[in-house]
């Protein structure tokens, strides 16, 4: 029996086939989207949602924000915090919200994300503060002759233009926080969405001696903002915070994130208004994100023959394979993640940073060479029924991004007592027979360029 290959069962996206996918494609920038000069993958809602997997957190966010903007009695909250304790997806979620406020016009798969009936049909005022693009010392240019130095200045201008900024100019230039009534005036009685992203980077830009003062004013501003939003039936705030498991910040801006978390908690305590927590991307959704980004079409029904062949060979040679322990979940993982081999996903999680996995950025860059090899490459894995570790070049820089504290890590078979360094077990897929186990040397081999990489076998690791 001849097994179908990944090119028989799946249709890769064009940029993946061309080999043009890169990490820069995943550098989501909220400010660029709002200005209208972002890459088309983010600016065009059709392309954006075609490449986006509808995670549970993203669907919950879109639904609840749209219900609030409509003043629906089914709404659950007016304040939402995107908690990225696992990593990634927060800015992507905010960009999804900006498209939703415009009605997701022309998006054919809208129903994947939310009920089209609850999308806004009237104008929504949208204001976004992006700490990465803020300039608290020199001021960010809003228009000729006008600069904003704080979140309140930028938000006021975005909501109500020059007149809105003038309403809070003293607060922006002198460092004081406006009152809730003043902020509410900026809404103009219309549906209003306020987004705040990368506040930790904004604080890092401030001089150390100014940080505590700015933090105190940030608390006062947030307290007033929360009150203004809660008092308006169709206004909503969504902010992001990179807090790790256990409620502690652990990333490069950990001090600032923890500082903001404490200030947010203080503001919530003072205003008696708790934010609803949402995680835009959870760990068990990683494989779905990668599948969506890499492939236009996957025939899951046709993949069952491949998965069944794997089951047979796993069962036939179970005494020669590393023990799985407890319940063997490989078949379920393979069925939900095909054509990505479960061992590949496990290795990506082990070797790459959480952000790279959950956002799909470096993981896509690591996997895409195995797919792009099918188009115009001198090495075409025509007989490969899945994407496994041996399909992925260890020299790929994205694949070498490891967890914090490690200089580099390649996607090599893991070292363990059950997987000796000197051997890799692989299944050779013969065109007229059942796959058989062979033992071979470690698949690391120098290329003509002198660098070490995985040579794509006409087979797959089991």
Where are the alpha helices (H) located in 102-197, listed in sequence order?
Answer: 151-174, 180-185
Q: Residue for token digits 């820089």?
A: 397
Q: Residue for token digits 């749209």?
A: 66
pLDDT at 116 (0 to 100): 96
Dist CA 367 CA 387 (whole Å): 8
- Note whether 154 and 142 are within 8 A (CB): yes
Dist CA 392 CA 84 (whole Å): 28
Return the ∠ at Cα 273 (arms to 271 and 277), rounded to 5°: 140
Dist CA 115 CA 417 (whole Å): 51
pLDDT at 235 (0 to 100): 97
Where are the alpha helices (H) located in 241-385, listed in sequence order?
Answer: 254-271, 286-294, 300-316, 330-337, 342-351, 354-359, 361-372
pLDDT at 440 (0 to 100): 37
Task: Give the residue ranges of the chain where pLDDT is below 50.
Answer: 86-87, 353-355, 357-360, 362-363, 374-382, 394-462
Q: Which fold has domain 56-278?
A: Rossmann fold (3.40.50)
Number of H helices, E strands in the chain: 18, 13
Domain ranges of the chain: 6-21+283-454, 56-278
pLDDT at 259 (0 to 100): 75
Smallest CA-to-CA distance from 63 within 29, 94, 100 is with 100
pLDDT at 263 (0 to 100): 72
Smallest CA-to-CA distance from 236 within 65, 31, 121, 59 is with 65
Q: Which residues partner with 141 through β-bridges? A: 147
- 439-451 exposure pattern, b = at least 16 Cβ within 10 A, e = fewer: eeeebeeeeeeee
- Note whether 65 and 238 are within 8 A (CB): yes
């Amino acid at each position: 029996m001849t097994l179908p290959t990944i090119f028989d069962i799946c249709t890769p996206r064009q940029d993946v086939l061309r080999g043009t996918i890169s990490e820069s494609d995943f550098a989501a920038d909220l400010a660029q989207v709002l200005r209208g000069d972002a890459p088309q993958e983010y600016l065009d809602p059709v392309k954006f949602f075609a490449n986006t997997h509808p995670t549970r957190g993203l669907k919950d966010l879109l639904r609840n924000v749209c219900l609030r903007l409509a003043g629906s009695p089914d709404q659950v909250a007016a304040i939402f915090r995107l908690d990225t304790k696992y990593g990634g997806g927060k800015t992507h979620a905010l960009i999804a919200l900006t498209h939703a406020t415009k009605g997701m016009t022309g998006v054919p798969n809208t129903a994947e994300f939310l009920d089209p009936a609850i999308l806004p049909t009237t104008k929504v005022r949208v204001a976004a503060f992006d700490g990465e693009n803020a300039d608290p010392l020199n001021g960010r240019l809003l228009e000729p002759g006008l600069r904003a130095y704080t979140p309140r200045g930028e938000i006021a201008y975005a909501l109500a233009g020059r007149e809105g900024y003038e309403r809070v100019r003293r607060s922006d230039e002198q460092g004081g926080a406006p009152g809730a009534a003043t902020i509410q005036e900026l809404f103009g009685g219309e549906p209003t969405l306020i987004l705040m992203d990368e506040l930790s980077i904004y604080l890092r830009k401030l001089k150390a001696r100014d940080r505590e003062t700015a933090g105190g004013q940030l608390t006062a501003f947030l307290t007033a903002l929360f009150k203004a939003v809660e008092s308006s039936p169709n206004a909503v705030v969504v902010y992001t915070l990179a807090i790790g498991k256990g409620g502690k910040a652990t990333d490069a801006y950990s001090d600032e994130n923890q500082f903001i978390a404490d200030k947010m908690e203080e503001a919530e305590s003072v205003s008696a208004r708790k934010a609803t927590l949402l995680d835009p991307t959870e760990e068990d959704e990683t494989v779905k994100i990668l599948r969506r980004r890499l492939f236009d079409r996957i025939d899951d029904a046709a993949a069952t023959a491949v998965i069944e062949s794997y089951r047979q060979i796993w069962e036939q040679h179970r005494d020669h394979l590393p023990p799985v322990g407890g319940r063997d979940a490989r078949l379920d993982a393979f069925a939900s993640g095909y054509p990505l081999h479960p061992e590949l996903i496990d290795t990506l999680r082990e070797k790459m940073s959480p952000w790279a996995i959950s956002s799909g950025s470096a993981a896509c860059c690591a996997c895409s060479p195995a797919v792009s090899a099918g188009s115009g490459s001198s090495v075409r894995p025509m007989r490969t029924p899945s994407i496994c570790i041996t399909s992925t070049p260890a020299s790929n820089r994205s694949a070498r991004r490891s967890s914090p504290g490690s200089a580099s890590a390649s996607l090599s078979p893991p070292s363990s007592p059950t997987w000796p360094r000197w051997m890799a077990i692989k299944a050779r897929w013969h065109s007229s027979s059942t796959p058989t186990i062979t033992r071979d040397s470690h698949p690391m081999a120098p290329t003509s360029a002198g660098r070490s990489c995985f040579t794509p076998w006409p087979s797959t690791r089991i």
